[in-house]
Amino acid sequence: MAEPSAPTVSVDAQLLGQHYRISCRPEEQALLGEAVALLQRRLAQASEQAARSVSKERLTLMVAMNLAADLLRAEEARAQQSATLDAVAARLQALVDMGRGEE
């Protein structure tokens, strides 16, 4: 017996003159809306800066590459912060152990 499908909602997006309707779970609707707004802003900025002869596909690819680079930088920063927190936690635990005489 097939499982019932999860309920979905739609988010409408207007990107580079094209209309898109994107389905998602209700709990993802706000995030997807924010993602669409970010993409619209980035595409508008890139469109203003690019030469008139740049195709929509190339413009979209440039924005996608920049967003991917932003994501990679954020992941690297998160990993560095996690390593720093781990080191601080280890140092604090060592101090607690010293205070207990468990060196």
Residue for token pair 């609707």: 29
Per-residue pLDDT of the chain (103 residues; tens, 9 = 90+): 555 678 999 999 999 889 999 999 999 999 999 999 999 999 999 998 887 888 999 999 999 999 999 999 999 999 999 999 999 999 999 999 998 886 6
Distance in angstroms (rounded) separating the CA atoms of residues 25 and 7: 6
DSSP element (H, E) containing 6? none
What are the residue boundaries of the structural domains of the chain, listed by start? 9-99
Rounded distance between C-alpha atoms, residue 24 and residue 28, angstroms: 6
User: Kind and range of the H or E element at 44?
Assistant: helix 29-49
Q: Would you say the pTM of this structure is higher than 0.85?
A: no
